[in-house]
Structure formats: structure tokens, C-alpha cells
Amino acid sequence: MSGPGKPGVVVVTGASAGVGRAAALAFARQGWRVGLLARDTERLAAARREVEALGGEALELVADVTESRMVEAAAERVEREWGAIDVWVNNAMATVFCDFPRMTPADFRRATEVTYLGAVWGTRAALERMRQRDRGVIVQVGSALAFRSIPLQSAYCGAKAALRGFTDSLRCELIHEKSRVHLTMVHLAAFNTPQFDWARNAMGRRAQPVGRIFQPEIAADAIVWAATHRRREVWVGFPAVMAIVGERVLPGYLDHKMARDAWEGQFTDEPLPPGRPDNLYETVSGDWGAHGRFDARAHRWSPHWWLSRNRWVLGAAALAVLAVAGVLLAWG
């Protein structure tokens, strides 16, 4: 980037669907060159066509984020063809809907490697290049579940919590060496993405997000914003705020509430379709796009996110309240 907020080169992992697809398009709309990193060649080609339809440029980077050598090769190709990577977004994830005693060690390992180690390898590939230039931004797409876990997704919750711990540790190291490379985390609430239809599911019923659902474009907007503003963390959606703050205040109460509400709340009454494929080890064919099947329930605007990126409004409101209070006291 030639200056703060100026379009440059970005790599988005998990860019072929869901939040990653929406983020890739959001960067493209602002003039960024977008490296699209994912496993599925069909969806990568579809994502590239969408970027190009917006007037942008895209590179298809076929890679499994659990393979560090593939991630490194993708980063090398981007810099060879386009020059310096300005922003790297670690978004790829995988989950398994299953109670822990029934989950196989192989499934737990795979979900952890995609969600946690995939972000670690992406960070390593980006950081190796950014530290040399003493500039760049790495965006970790986190979750409210990194703070407040729920039942039946122990691998995913553990991986997101691990990513948060890793990022905080690395941030301290960068501060120690006075590096200008910036690390930020974007913690998301529940979003309408295809993951609920292609995640491995041992519970027999179709999965759904818990609580208020938002469209992935809100998450994409937050990711682009975080990439161009030096905020340590960004919380997206008021349910994420309630989960994060609530865990700090009433953790025991939330343990019982999640045990009661989040167990059944993660599933509809519909049975899983027979022979339904999942994407834990292999990709699921078809161009799934950014949205899941919850468009009718998903919100396109988040008041909390608007206030979060426009914090001056809260400051002005507080000053106005103080001014009115001062006038009332003076005339009292």
C-alpha cells in the first residue's frame, strides 16, 4: 500500500465461499488485487469471475491451509506476480457438530488443523515477508466462541481460542522488536454462510446459527475496515459483545445457559438429507457463494458494528449528555 487505507494486494484464505468470499468481493470493490486461497477449483474460478465483474484482479491459489508448504507457495506466487502482500486475511475454518465423546480423534485433529494451524501457517507466510519490509497487516478472523464456548463444537471453539492466544503472544513479540507489522482480530457473531450445510454433522438434524443472524457482507465490511485501521480487536454484532462481556462477568451462569439453550438451538427439526457430503476432508462440489440458506432470517445491518467503527458518535453523545447535565445543575 502506498499509504494507510490505499488499495494494494490482499490474500484471503477460505475465499471460495461464506465470509471469505464476501471479504474478497469487498476488497475488490475498493480496488484491491485479491489472492483467493482455497481448496476447491470450481468455486475459486467462480470467485475470480465475481471479482473481475467488479473490475478487479484476482489470483486463484489452490491450497489446503493445513499444508504449510502449500500456503508458503501461494504467498510466493502472489509476490512473484504482483509484488508485496499488504494484507493477509486468515479466514479458513472447519467445524464438526458432535459431542466430544463421540468425535473421532481424526476429525478433531482435522478441524483444529484447518481452523487453528491454517491461520498459524498463513501468519507465518505473511509475516516472513512483511517483517522484511516492516509493514503489512494480518487479519485473524475470530469468533465470539473464542471467548464463550458452546457445546457440540469443541474442536472449533478450542481452535478459535487457541488462535486468540497465539495472536496475542505474537503481537507482544512484534511490539518488543518495534515492528510496524500490525495484527488484528475480527471476532464475529453468527453469520449466514454455507458452513451449516456442509460441515460434518453427527447429530442427525440440519444445523443452524444460534441467535441473531447477520449477512456475511457485514463481516466482510469489518474485515476490510480492520485491515485499514489500526484497531487491536473488532467485535462484530451485538450478540458477540454479549457473549464476550458475559463470559467475563457471569461465566458459570453461561455454562448452564449454553448447556440448556445452545444444544438444541444449533439444530432445526429437519433431518439431515440422506448421503449428505461434508467438507471436512474433501471439498463439496458446487458454487455455494457467500450466503447460506438463512437469507430470510439474516440481518443486513448491525447497529453495533456501525457504532463500533464510528466511535466518535458515542463520544459526542456523552459530551452532549454532560453538557445538558451541566446546564441543568447550573440552573438548578
Among 116, 156, 253, 281, which one carries the catalytic annotation? 156
The pTM is what? 0.91
Domains of the chain, first to last: 9-301 (3.40.50.720)
Q: Which residues of the chain have pLDDT under 70?
A: 1-5, 311-332
Long-range contacts of 105-112 (CB under 8 A, 24+ apart): 107/155, 107/200, 107/280, 108/154, 108/155, 110/66, 110/280, 110/281, 111/155, 111/156, 111/159, 111/200, 111/280, 112/155, 112/158, 112/159, 112/162
The pLDDT value recorded for residue 323 is: 52
pLDDT digits (tens, 9 = 90+) for 236-252: 998 899 899 999 999 99
For cell 476447491, name the residue.
40
pLDDT digits (tens, 9 = 90+) for 71-129: 999 999 999 999 999 999 999 999 999 999 999 999 999 999 999 999 999 999 999 99
The pLDDT value recorded for residue 279 is: 96
- Nearest CA to 130 among 77, 83, 71, 63? 83
Please confirm, yes or no, whether 156 is among the known catalytic residues: yes
162 burial (CB, 10 Å; 0-12 / 13-18 / 19+) is middle
The pLDDT value recorded for residue 305 is: 83
The pLDDT value recorded for residue 34 is: 98
